[in-house]
Amino acid sequence: MHMHNSDPISRWLQEQQEAMVRLLSDLVNIDSGSYDKAGVDDVGARLTGFLSEHGIETSVTPNADFGDILRADLGGVRRNGQRHNILLLGHRDTVFPKGEVSRRPFKIENGRAYGPGVADMKAGLVMNAFVLAAFKRFSPETPLVMLMTGDEEIGSNTSRDAIMAEARSAVAVFNAEPGRASGNIVTSRKGMLYSRLDITGKAAHSGVNFTEGVNAIAELGHKIVALHDLTRVEDGITVNVGLVSGGQSVNTTAPHASAEFEVRFVTNEQRDTVSKAVEALVARSVVPGTTSTLIGKSNFLALVPTAESEMLASRYLGTAEEHGVSVKGEFTGGCADSGFAASVGAPTICGVGPVGGKAHTTEEYIELPTLLQRAQILASTIGKVVAAGR
């Protein structure tokens, strides 16, 4: 018998298990790829409806192209920049195309739930919503804020400002990305820059007027080697050119070529250093007559641990122990919105959502019992953060 059974919030959450699974099923069965604004907003409408049944209002920051940003709080929230709030973070978009749900709707098999976005991160949204509802019922003065964004899977370009603004007044940020398959939470993450490189050359007949041509593909070859040379695996810096295209025909000097590449890094200082190096190599031409342009597509900041975030993590992990769950914090090469929250100095931990695996694939799943388990651990941790006055 763990102590959490005597806690009214934990008890109430336990009674909500079926309702949690119902809400999860509803959310998973709505296609909500990042570019499907209507779908992402439908997921938002379902969550807004759930919250309103529990007496919680949601405010909307409209977005023309991507899912609107939704924000809910319990009313006991200060927004004057003083650190005070506890932020529950989550995104409603998935990586899957429209029609994915009809191919493989939500299903439960052998204690696992499956379906598009079930782990990344619709289960986390369900957890956040039920935790908010629980505090509304039993402890409505708790300064809890829930933010639900719509474009995380494509770099959070339209929601990062809202995340950072909210995090500026937070004493703790919990990002409900899935717990690792091991059960561990995430205490540090790599950051990422994703860019496109466009190179212009000049077309000429490669047999008749070879010397009049300027081959953009030749220049791209040099650039790829130079980009990959920036990799320092031992320092956690990697550069991957993942897509290339170019040229017009086999007997024409290539008038254009392009590549898409990503850089991953562990600290935001590394990001600045590598960015400068990339800009320098883009500015230099090896093949005379070529010009290169760099287009930034998206970027994520690294989640870099601080003394405060380590304290929050140990508080969470200690609370998990009391709930009979023994897990650790770990580092991952993946990126998430937690990096934006941490970048403005908010103590931030990630991967506190239900435990799952194989995200972004058709085998994606969560361990269904962890839907309740992680909600209870999160709620108890929030209680401790409030009691400690931070």
Kindly state the helix (H) or strand (E) to which residue 316 belongs, with its residue range: helix 307-322
Whole-number pLDDT of residue 83: 81
Query: Do 257 and 343 reside in the same domain of the chain?
Result: no
- Does residue 134 have a pLDDT over 50? yes
The token pair at 216 is: 């953009």
- Does residue 102 have a pLDDT over 80? yes
Each residue of 105-123: pLDDT tens digit? 999 999 999 999 999 999 9
Query: Do 317 and 291 reside in the same domain of the chain?
Result: no
Residue 210 is part of which domain span?
Answer: 191-300
Whole-number pLDDT of residue 106: 98
Whole-number pLDDT of residue 76: 76
Domain boundary among 261, 281, 300: 300
- Does residue 208 have a pLDDT over 80? yes
Domain boundary among 280, 300, 320: 300
Q: How far is 140 from 16, CA to CA, in rounded Å?
A: 18
334 φ/ψ angles, rounded to the nearest 5 degrees: -80, 165
- 59 CB neighbour count, 10 Å cutoff: 11
Whole-number pLDDT of residue 2: 45
Query: Do 263 and 150 reside in the same domain of the chain?
Result: no
Query: Do 180 and 67 reside in the same domain of the chain?
Result: yes
Query: Do 138 and 151 reside in the same domain of the chain?
Result: yes
- Does residue 81 have a pLDDT over 90? no
Query: Do 245 and 360 reside in the same domain of the chain?
Result: no
Mean pLDDT, residues 240-255: 98
- Does residue 78 have a pLDDT over 80? no
Query: Do 91 and 232 reside in the same domain of the chain?
Result: no
Query: Do 39 and 138 reside in the same domain of the chain?
Result: yes
Does the predicted TM-score (pTM) go above 0.85? yes
- CATH (domain of 251): 3.30.70.360
Each residue of 11-68: pLDDT tens digit? 999 999 999 999 999 999 999 999 999 999 999 999 999 999 999 999 999 999 999 9
Each residue of 343-385: pLDDT tens digit? 999 999 999 999 999 999 999 999 999 999 999 999 999 999 9
Mean pLDDT, residues 75-87: 79
Query: Do 354 and 241 reside in the same domain of the chain?
Result: no
Query: Do 176 and 310 reside in the same domain of the chain?
Result: yes
Q: Return the DSSP state at 99.
A: T
> What is the separation, in whole angstroms, between the first and last Cα of the chain?
29
Q: Using pLDDT thresholds of 50, 70 and 90, give the confidence band for residue 5.
A: low
Query: Do 13 and 121 reside in the same domain of the chain?
Result: yes
- CATH (domain of 40): 3.40.630.10
Kindly state the helix (H) or strand (E) to which residue 89 belongs, with its residue range: strand 85-91
Whole-number pLDDT of residue 389: 77
Domain boundary among 281, 300, 319: 300
> How many domains does one find in the chain?
2
Query: Do 31 and 167 reside in the same domain of the chain?
Result: yes
